[in-house]
Amino acid sequence: MGERSDFDLVVIGSGPGGYRAAVLGALRGLAVAIVERGVWGGTCLNRGCVPKKDWYHTARLVAGNRRYAARGLRGQLEPDLDAAWRHQRTVVETVRASYVDYLRRLGVRAFAGEARFVAADEIAVGDERLGARHAIVATGSRPFVPPWTPLVPGRVLTTDELFDAPPPPGARVGVVGSGVVGTEMAFILAMLGKDVVWLTQSAPLSRSRFSASARRFLGAALAAHGVAPRTGSRPERCVADDRGVTLHLPGGATERVDWLLLGAGRLPNVEGLGLQRAGVELGEDGFVAVDDEMRTSAPHVFAIGDCADAAMTSNHALVEAAIAVANIVAPGSRKRSDIMIPEVVYSAAELARLGLSEEEAEAMGLEPALGFSGFEASPAALAADEPQGFVRVVADHDTGRLLGAEAVGPNAGEWLQVVGPHAGSDEALAALARAAWNHPSFAEEILNAVETLASKWGLGPAVFGPPAGARE
């Protein structure tokens, strides 16, 4: 049994939330330890957002094949999934090396192994004992494997297996799931040269908060690339053999593929942590229960990210890390609010949203006002052969307060987030209207949507006037 080392903060899990919590804690002068049982960087870096984004960029290049001739470019790009796999691995390893080095330079102590609470203020990692004045549980999640199939190496995979090892051979690939993972990977794999059989129970993203308009746009973009879900076709049974996978579908139909990728959701990682010994309770949904400061039922223990938030996005984990550390340093100083955390889908069209939709605003008793700008005449969109996108801005008609925004178009997740810092401000529309915007750009369509909103709802000159206190 090793000697006990005491820390102001022990972070369990090194994904985006855990990493940011450790960095912020160290920057605020705390003695910080971070524990990881697997590969440093967690799911996002190694098997999720980072390698997926790498493949998405490649997929978009391939998707542009049909437009290249009109732009004066000859030839066709030919996809190679094996080479694409090696490229994402290089990116992941580069990011991971930088990540680990930064923690070291900040003085964060790193421990490899399974972490478990042995007492309210003590965490065991193998023979090591870590005293924890505060702890943050950031253990992430794992793919859900449906009961109708086992995982079979080289035949039935989740994204964990897909990014951990080179993809299996075979041209015909099944993709299961209508959520974000299924919607993204069906497009990406199709563009990377696979004959994709996309099996879903419901329409893509039907349970998401994206508008019906955005989902219709995505459906048309997918169809234009020959990617279409077979709804009502969630498999009932799966049989894998040395030559491929047979999927038994509703109504007695079968489908044969070379390998199958599961995108059927995720489960929080909460087992084996000894949470009960720390006084940490789980909610009825199986996630760690937290309040609006990210504090658990044990006042000195916080939980963030996928293990505590059903949204299960890295964007949520990063925000929650900052909230938890703020409340460790200055209790009660920051509250949780999900309203302006961006959600982005990378598929045949890039979809981004934050805040409330019109329907959500109405359900809260608000009277939403909508500003809209389509890309049909946008110089930036026309130059990029992307004139079908749009921006929607939602505000409270009574106060002009910014409630939310949604965008569909290239790199929408990059430029829509400029709206985020204005969340909840009655001056948001005025600030956006007064700002200087680059022209031509996709981002300036936010300005056009704001101006449309101001005109449509009679918000008047105050929206466009000088900042408060400025001379006329």
135 plus 14 within the same structural domain: yes
Residues 6+ apart with CB under 8 A from 259: 154, 155, 156, 157, 167, 168, 170, 173, 174, 244, 245
CATH of the domain at 287: 3.50.50.60
**Cβ(385)–Cβ(413) under 8 Å?**
no
Q: Residue 462: its pLDDT value, please?
A: 46
Q: Which amino acid is at 67?
A: R
In this predicted model, what pLDDT tens digit does every residue of 392-450 receive, in sequence order? 999 988 888 899 999 999 999 999 999 988 877 788 888 898 889 999 999 999 999 99
pLDDT at residue number 261: 98
Residue 468 lies in a domain: no
* Averaged pLDDT for residues 350-354: 97
Domain-located, residue 469: no
Which pTM does this prediction carry?
Answer: 0.94
Q: Mark whether 217 and 78 lie in a shared domain.
A: no
Q: Are residues 354 and 444 in the same domain?
A: yes
Which of 229, 264, 299 terminates a domain? The answer is: 264
**Among 177, 230, 233, CA closest to 347:** 177
Q: What is the pLDDT of residue 453?
A: 81
Assess whether 387 and 435 both reside in one domain: yes
Please, are residues 275 and 288 in contact by the beta-carbon 8 Å criterion? yes
Give the whole-angstrom CA distance, residue 8 versus residue 25.
9
Domain boundary residue among 264, 298, 316? 264
- Whether residue 129 is found in the same domain as residue 9: yes
344 within a domain of the structure (yes/no): no
Tokens representing 441 are 């750009």
Angle between helices 180-191 and 212-224 (to 10 degrees): 20
CA distance 137 to 56: 30
Q: Where among 264, 287, 307 does a domain terminate? A: 264
Residues 26 and 173 in one domain: no
Of 275, 266, 285, 300, whose CA–CA distance to 48 is shortest?
266
Domain tally for the chain?
Answer: 3
At 236-255, the pLDDT tens digits run 999 999 999 999 999 999 99
Q: Which residue has the higher pLDDT, 458 or 445?
A: 445
pLDDT digits (tens, 9 = 90+) for 187-204: 999 999 999 999 999 999
Options 87, 300, 316, 439, the catalytic residue: 439
C-alpha 371 chain-centroid distance: 26
**HEC-encoded secondary structure of the chain:** CCCEEEEEEEEECCCHHHHHHHHHHHHCCCCEEEEECCCCCHHHHHHCHHHHHHHHHHHHHHHCHHHHHHHCCCCCCCCCHHHHHHHHHHHHHHHHHHHHHHHHHCCCEEEECCEEEEECCEEEECCEEEEEEEEEECCCEEECCCCCCCCECCCEECHHHHHHCCCCCCCEEEEECCCHHHHHHHHHHHHCCCEEEEECCCCCCCCCCCCHHHHHHHHHHHHHCCCCEECCCCCCEEEEECCEEEEECHHHCEEEECEEEECCCEEECCCCCCHHHHCCCECCCCCECCCCCCECCCCCEEECHHHCCCCCCHHHHHHHHHHHHHHHHCCCCCCCCCCCCCEEEECCCEEEEEECCHHHHHHCCCCEEEEEEECCCCHHHHHCCCCCCEEEEEEECCCCCEEEEEEECCCHHHHHHHHHHHCCCCCHHHHHHHCCCCCCCCCHHHHHHHHHHHHHCCCCHHHCCCCCCCCC
Both ends of the chain: CA-CA distance in Å? Answer: 73
- Say if 308 falls within a structural domain: yes
Q: Is 469 left (phi over 0), alpha (psi -120 to 50) or beta?
A: left
Same domain, 240 and 175: yes
Q: Are residues 303 and 408 in the same domain?
A: no
β-bridge partners, 197: 174
- Asked if residue 340 belongs to a domain, the reply is no
Structure tokens belonging to residue 43: 């799911």
Higher-scoring residue by pLDDT: 275, 455: 275
- Residue 123's beta-bridge partner residues? 117, 130
Whether residue 167 is contained in a domain is answered as yes
Residues 213 and 294 in one domain: no
pLDDT of residue 376: 95
> Which residues lie below 8 Å from residue 431, measured CB to CB, with a gap of 6+?
422, 425
Does any domain span residue 280? Answer: yes
Domain that holds residue 439: 349-463
Mark whether 23 and 95 lie in a shared domain.
yes
Whether 439 sits among the annotated catalytic residues: the reply is yes
Examine the domain organization and report whether 381 and 428 are in the same domain. Answer: yes
Q: Specify whether the CB–CB gap between 159 and 48 falls below 8 A.
A: yes
pLDDT at 465: 53
Read off the CATH number of the domain in which 443 is found. 3.30.390.30
Unique residue bearing structure tokens 């190496």: 153
Q: How confident is the model at residue 467 (pLDDT cuts 50, 70, 90)?
A: low
Alpha-carbon distance of 34 to 38, in angstroms, equals 12
User: Are residue 259 and residue 274 in the same domain, yes or no?
Assistant: no
Question: Is pLDDT of 139 > 50?
Answer: yes
Share of the chain above pLDDT 70, in %: 96
Asked if the structure places residue 151 within a domain, the reply is no
